[in-house]
Structure 1
Amino acid sequence: MNAIAEQSARVRPAEALDHDVLIVGAGISGMYQLLLLRRLGMRVQVFEAGTGVGGTWYWNRYPGARFDSESWSYGFSFDQELLDEWDWTENFAPQPETERYLNHFADKFDLRRDIRFSSRVTAAHWDDDGRFWTLTLEDGSRHTARFLVSAVGPLSAPTYPRLPGLDDFEGEAYHTGLWPKHEVSFAGKRVAVIGTGASAVQAIPIIAETAEHLTVFQRRPNWCTPLHNARIDKDEMARIRARYPEIFQRCRETAACFIHTIDPRGTFEVTPEEREAFWEQRYAEPGFGIWQGNFRDVLIDRKANALLSDFVARKIRERVNDPEVAEKLIPKDHGFGTRRVPQETRYYEAYNRPNVELVSILETPIERITPTGLRTSERDYAFDMIVYATGFDAITGGLDRIDLRGRDGVKLKDRWRGNLSTFVGVMVDGFPNMFMQMGPHTALGNIPRSIEYGVEWVRDLLAHMQAHDLTLADARGEAVRDWTAFVAKKAEGLLSNEVDSWMTGVNMNVEGKQTRIVARYSGTAGEYRDWCNRVAAEGYREIAMG
C-alpha cells in the first residue's frame, strides 16, 4: 500500500463523526455560518457559552450599550424578506433592540435546533490521521467533526485589572462585557467605574444620572466624538428601506465598509478656514465621519494629525467646565484616530455634574481592591458598586482561552506567541480544516459587512471541497508568509501602529501582551476581498487539499 492509500485508509469516514462542522459561538458570524453550511447539506452543531444568541449583543448589555455603526448599515443584507420585515427605531440601535433583531434572525431561519447553549468549549484538538477535530466542553463531553469554525469574534474575552483583592469586595461588582440580565440600579449608590474606553464612555452618562456619587478611575483618556443619535419613524424607515441597495453598495465601496470613507484631499491642500469648516461639519454629523471620513493624511502625517487633535481638544475644553478636568480628559500620548474612537452621548457633560469625580490612576495608581472599595496610592475609597470597564483580551484572546492544538499537538497560542501569522485571517498553516471568522488579519471595520463576506468565502471553500470529495484543507506556508507580509506592508506608516492599544495587540491586563504586534489588517476592505476572490478564482492553490 503506497503512502497516499495508507493515509486515505486512516481517514475517519464522515458517518463515524458526530458532525461535519462544529462552530464555536452563536453571534452574528456563527449563526450566519450555520445557516449557509446547513444549506450545503452539512451536519452542523454550534456551541455557545451563553444562554442565548447574539454574541457581543448578548454579553454586552451594560447601560448605554449601542451601535456606533448606523443600524441600517449593520444588519444582514443577504435576505430581502428580512430587510423588508425589520424596522430599526434608532439610527444607532441600543443593545436590547439589536439582541431582539438577532433573536428574530435565529427564529426566522430556525437556527436554535442546531445550537447548544450553556456550552463553553475548553479544548479543540486535531487528529491528523483521522482528519477530524475533537472539541471538549466544560462539562467534559467530547464532540467530533471534520471541520472547525471559530466564531468567537475579536472582542469576546473580558479582562479584569491585575490588582490584588478582586474577590474581596463585598459590594456589587460587574464587568461591562459580562453584564447580568437582571436590572442593575445605581440609585443612591456610591459607584466606581474603572476604565474610560468605549463601554465606559457609553455607560458613565447613564450611571451618573441616578448614582449618589460616581468616581471614574482613568488610566489613559480616549479621543471621543459625539454620536448624534436620533429616532427613526415609520416614514424615515420606509425611505431607508428603499435605499438599501444603495447603502450596501456604498459599504462595499468604502475603505472600512462604513457609509463614511476617506476624503481624497490632504489636510494642507485646503485653506485653514476650509479645514476648520470641514472639521466643524464632521464633528456635527452622526457617527464615524470625523474618524473614517476625514482627510486622507490625518492618520499618517504627524502635523496633520496634530491639527485635528487640537481641534477635538478644543471641543473637549468647550464642553467640560473645569479646566483641570478637561485637561485630564484630553489624550497626551496619542493622536486623534490612532486608537478606536468611542462615540459618545453627553459623555463630557457628565463630568460637569456635582456627583461625578475623575481620578487619574497614572497620578495615583490603584493599589488594591478592598472589602469596602479600593485603595489608591493616595487614599481609600468606599463604594457600594464597582463597574469594571476594562475591556477585552482582543483579537486573539477568545482563541487563546481554548486549548487549541493543531498538527503534532502544537498549541495555537504558542504558535502565535510574538509571531502572529495567518492566511487571509481565516486559516493558520498546521491547523487543517480550521477556519476563523473575524480572526486576526481580517478586514474588521463595519463588522457585519465583513462577516457576510468571510462567512460566504468559507462556505464557498467547503462547497469546493464537497464537490471534489476532499477531506483536508491546510494553508500552505508560503501563502501564509505572503499574506502576513502584505498585512505588515499595509501597516507601514500608520500612526496607530505606534500606539499601545488592543488594535496593536497590547493589553496591560494580560500577561505577555505588553509588546506591540501587527494584530490587525490595515488595508482597505476592497483590497482584502480582491485577494480572497483571486484565491477562489484560481482554485484555492494556496491551500493544500486532499
Structure 2
Amino acid sequence: MWSLFRLVESGFRCKLIEAGSDFGGTWYWNRYPGARVDTDVPSYEFELEELWKDWNWPEVFPGGEDLRAYFKSVGQKLDLRRHCLFDHAVRSAHWGEISHLWNVTADGAAGVYEASSRHVIFALGTSAQPYIPNIKGLDRFSGHCMHTARWPRDGLETRGKRVGIIGTGASGVQVIQEVGPVAEKLTVFQRTPNLAIPMRQRALQVQEQTSAKSSYPDIFNNRHGTFTGFSYDFNPRKTEEDTPEQREAFWEGLWSLGGFRFFVGGYHDLFFSKEANDLAYAFWRKKVSERIRDPKKRDLLAPAISPHPFGAKRVSLEQNYWEVVCQDNVDIVDVNNDPIVEVTATGVRTAKRTYDLDILVLATGFDAYTGSYLQIDIRGEEGRTIQEHWREGVRSYLGTTVNKFPNLWFMYGPHSPGAFSVMPALAEVQGGWIVDAMKQLRAENVTKFVARTNAAEAYSQHVRELAPPLLLQAKSWYLGANIPGKVQGIHDYFGGVPAYIQELKEEAEKGYPNFQRARLADSHKGEEVRAKL
C-alpha cells in the first residue's frame, strides 16, 4: 500500500493486485474473535501527516475492525483505489529475457487478468499463507471448521457451543480469551504453552490523542532508531550486572507497562545467555503462576522448566488469558502426552478420549516468510522457478531482491526484519528504498536490474550469522519448523532495524554495486511499468 503510494507519487503507472476485496492485508483476512494488533498506536501507523492528523483510535492496541477502517481511510486519502485490482490472486509471474518484462497473470471472479510489467513487487506478508495440519479425518467434521485466518466474514456464533481450538499461538490466545467466557465448553489442544505477557490494553480518548499528536513526528522518526522500531529498546546492561533486587524492580516496571517491553525492552543478553534467559523465565513464571489457581493447569501452562528459551518462539500479548483458561468450562489437552489421532464427524479423538464439538478452530499458524511465494509460479532467468531457487533454503540480497530474478522486489519477506519490526515502519523503509532504486533505474534507462549471486550468498550467510544462538533451540515458525518437510533455516534479519536501514542506505549511496544492469534498445524504453504489491 505504501509502495503503491510512492510509485504513483513518483510518476510510475502501477496496478496493485489483491486477492481480498479491500485494503488491509492480513487484517482483511484475520476476522476471528479478538483479532487485534500487538503493536500500540501511533507506532502502528504510517508517518504521513495527512493520514494521522484527523485519525483517532478507540484503543491502544486496535482490533481488526478498526484496523480495516484505518487502511480503508488511507486508501481514500491517498486516492489509491483507482490503481487497484481487488478480488484477484496472482497465479504466475514469468520473466522475459528478450523483452526485460514480467508477464503476470491473476485469477478473479471476473476472469483472468494479464499484464506485462517492467518491475514486480511482492508484498505478500510474513505470515499470510495459512497452515492446515494434515490431521486424519479433518474433512469429515460435520460442524464448523476453519483456520483463524479464514474466519467467516459474517462471523460465527460461539455462545453456548462446544468449541475446540488446536494451537496456542497469538491467534489461539486471542480466540481463547473471547470464546472461553461464552462457550458451553472450550477444549484447547496445546502442544507448547504460550509464554504470553501482559498487553495492558486501555481505551483512548480523542482529546488525549489530539494533545499527543505534536509528538508524532518524533515518534515516527524514533522508529528507525530502536532494535524493533518500537518506542522502547533493549536495556544496554547485561542481566547479571544488576543485583537480584535491581532486576526484580526493573522487570516489575516493564511488566506493569505492558506491551513487548518485557520481551524486547529488557536486558540485551536475553537471546545470548542461557543464564540470563533462565532468570527471565523464572520471573515470567512467578508472575503468571499468581494468576493460575488450578495446579494441574499451572503445570501445563507455566511448567517449572521452560519449554524453550524465552522469546525463541513468538511471544504473545494477553489481556485475561490465564483467568479464562482457568475457568471450569475450559479444558487443556496436552497433545504431547495425549496426541490427536483423528477428527471425526462429531469432534476430535485423541489417544485417550473423544471430545464432542460443534466448532473446530485451527489456530495452527502460517507457512511463514516463503509460503505465499511458493504458491505462485514465479520464474526468473532461464525459466528457473522460485521453488527451485529456494529448494535448499532462502537466498536473497538485502531482504528485498533475489538473484536470478531480475526486476523482482519483495517486502517484509524472508531476510528482512519482518517478525521483529513495526510493519508500517518497515513498509516505509523497504518501499521507499525500492521506489528510489526504480527511479534511479528509470533515469538511467536501465531495463534489467538483478542482484549478483555472490552478493546474495554473502548476505544470506550474514543473516544466518546474526541469529542469536538461543533462537535456534526452539522449533519455531521463525525457522520454518512448524511446517513438515520445510527446509529449516534463518528467515528473519536479527541485526535490528537501525542496522538493516544502514545496509540499505550504504548499497544505494555506493551506486548499487552488488547489482548487474542491462539496457534494451531504444525502442523498448517506453514500456509501461506495473507493480504487483
| Cross-structure match for 2:26 | 56
Contact 1:418–1:517 (CA under 8 A) maintained in structure 2:
no
Deviation of the 1:217 alpha carbon: 0.5
| Cross-structure match for 2:528 | none
Contact 1:500–1:516 (CA under 8 A) maintained in structure 2:
no
Contact 2:158–2:182 (CA under 8 A) maintained in structure 1:
yes
Deviation of the 1:380 alpha carbon: 1.6
SS in 2 for 1:504: coil
Is 1:92 matched with 2:64?
Answer: no
1:164-203 aligned at under 5 Å gives the runs: 164-203=136-175
1:201-240 aligned at under 5 Å gives the runs: 201-240=173-212
The 2-side partners of 1:403 and 1:340 are apart by 30
The 1-side partners of 2:307 and 2:383 are apart by 42
Quick check: 453-462 or 82-91, which moved more?
82-91
Is 1:241 matched with 2:210?
Answer: no
Deviation of the 1:231 alpha carbon: 0.8
| Cross-structure match for 1:395 | 369
SS in 2 for 1:76: coil
Q: Give the counterpart of 1:118 among 82, 87, 94.
A: 87
Quick check: 244-253 or 522-531, which moved more?
244-253
Structure 1 residues 475-534: Cα deviation after superposition (integer angstroms, max 9, x where no partner): 01122122112212211x431122211111222xx3422x53111111011111111101
| Cross-structure match for 2:309 | 335
Structure 1 residues 281-337: Cα deviation after superposition (integer angstroms, max 9, x where no partner): 111112110001001111110011001101111122111111111111126330211
SS in 1 for 2:165: strand
| Cross-structure match for 1:76 | 46
The 1-side partners of 2:446 and 2:69 are apart by 39
Instruction: Write the letter of the residue equivalent to 2:75.
Output: A
Contact 2:200–2:319 (CA under 8 A) maintained in structure 1:
yes
The 1-side partners of 2:40 and 2:113 are apart by 41
The 2-side partners of 1:512 and 1:472 are apart by 35
Is 1:512 matched with 2:485?
Answer: yes
Q: Give the counterpart of 2:339 among 358, 365, 383.
A: 365
SS in 2 for 1:74: coil
SS in 2 for 1:505: coil
The 2-side partners of 1:511 and 1:308 are apart by 31
Structure 1 residues 237-279: Cα deviation after superposition (integer angstroms, max 9, x where no partner): 0232111022122211101111121101111111101111111
| Cross-structure match for 2:327 | 353
Instruction: Write the letter of the residue equivalent to 2:79.
Output: D
Is 1:290 matched with 2:262?
Answer: yes
| Cross-structure match for 1:494 | 469
| Cross-structure match for 1:36 | 6
Contact 1:317–1:327 (CA under 8 A) maintained in structure 2:
no
Instruction: Write the letter of the residue equivalent to 1:466.
Output: R
Q: 1:440 to 1:221 in 2, by over 3 A?
A: same
| Cross-structure match for 2:277 | 305
The 2-side partners of 1:145 and 1:248 are apart by 33
Contact 1:194–1:390 (CA under 8 A) maintained in structure 2:
yes
Is 1:375 matched with 2:349?
Answer: yes
The 1-side partners of 2:255 and 2:68 are apart by 29
Is 1:433 matched with 2:402?
Answer: no
The 2-side partners of 1:365 and 1:131 are apart by 52
Contact 1:186–1:211 (CA under 8 A) maintained in structure 2:
yes
Contact 2:197–2:258 (CA under 8 A) maintained in structure 1:
no
Instruction: Write the letter of the residue equivalent to 2:350.
Output: T
| Cross-structure match for 1:66 | 36
Instruction: Write the letter of the residue equivalent to 1:210.
Output: V
The 2-side partners of 1:150 and 1:511 are apart by 25
Aligned residues: 511
| Cross-structure match for 1:472 | 448
Structure 1: any 5+ residue segments left out of the alignment?
1-30
Instruction: Write the letter of the residue equivalent to 1:355.
Output: N
The 1-side partners of 2:136 and 2:18 are apart by 31
Instruction: Write the letter of the residue equivalent to 2:201.
Output: N
The 1-side partners of 2:199 and 2:357 are apart by 30
Identity of aligned residues (%): 36
| Cross-structure match for 2:478 | 503
Deviation of the 1:40 alpha carbon: 2.0
The 2-side partners of 1:58 and 1:374 are apart by 30
SS in 2 for 1:71: coil
| Cross-structure match for 1:452 | 428
Q: Give the counterpart of 2:458 among 475, 482, 494.
A: 482
The 1-side partners of 2:388 and 2:319 are apart by 41
Structure 1 residues 173-210: Cα deviation after superposition (integer angstroms, max 9, x where no partner): 12111112102111111000110000011110110111
Structure 1 residues 316-370: Cα deviation after superposition (integer angstroms, max 9, x where no partner): 2111111111111126330211211100010011122111111011111111111
Structure 2: any 5+ residue segments left out of the alignment?
519-533
Contact 1:131–1:472 (CA under 8 A) maintained in structure 2:
yes
SS in 2 for 1:387: strand
The 2-side partners of 1:382 and 1:250 are apart by 51
| Cross-structure match for 2:16 | 46
TM-score, normalised by the number of residues in structure 1: 0.92
The 2-side partners of 1:330 and 1:412 are apart by 41
Is 1:261 matched with 2:233?
Answer: yes
* Structure with more relative contact order (C-alpha pairs < 8 Å, separation 6 or more): 2
Contact 1:72–1:240 (CA under 8 A) maintained in structure 2:
no
Quick check: 233-242 or 252-261, which moved more?
233-242
Deviation of the 1:140 alpha carbon: 4.1
Contact 2:193–2:307 (CA under 8 A) maintained in structure 1:
no
SS in 2 for 1:182: coil
SS in 2 for 1:246: helix
The 1-side partners of 2:96 and 2:461 are apart by 30
| Cross-structure match for 1:12 | none
The 1-side partners of 2:58 and 2:431 are apart by 27
Is 1:132 matched with 2:105?
Answer: no
Deviation of the 1:418 alpha carbon: 2.3
Q: Give the counterpart of 2:437 among 443, 461, 475.
A: 461
| Cross-structure match for 1:277 | 249
Deviation of the 1:142 alpha carbon: 2.7
Deviation of the 1:116 alpha carbon: 1.1
| Cross-structure match for 2:121 | 149
Instruction: Write the letter of the residue equivalent to 1:341.
Output: V
SS in 2 for 1:533: helix
Deviation of the 1:71 alpha carbon: 1.7
Quick check: 372-381 or 482-491, which moved more?
482-491
After superposition, the CA RMSD in angstroms is: 1.3
Contact 2:397–2:459 (CA under 8 A) maintained in structure 1:
yes
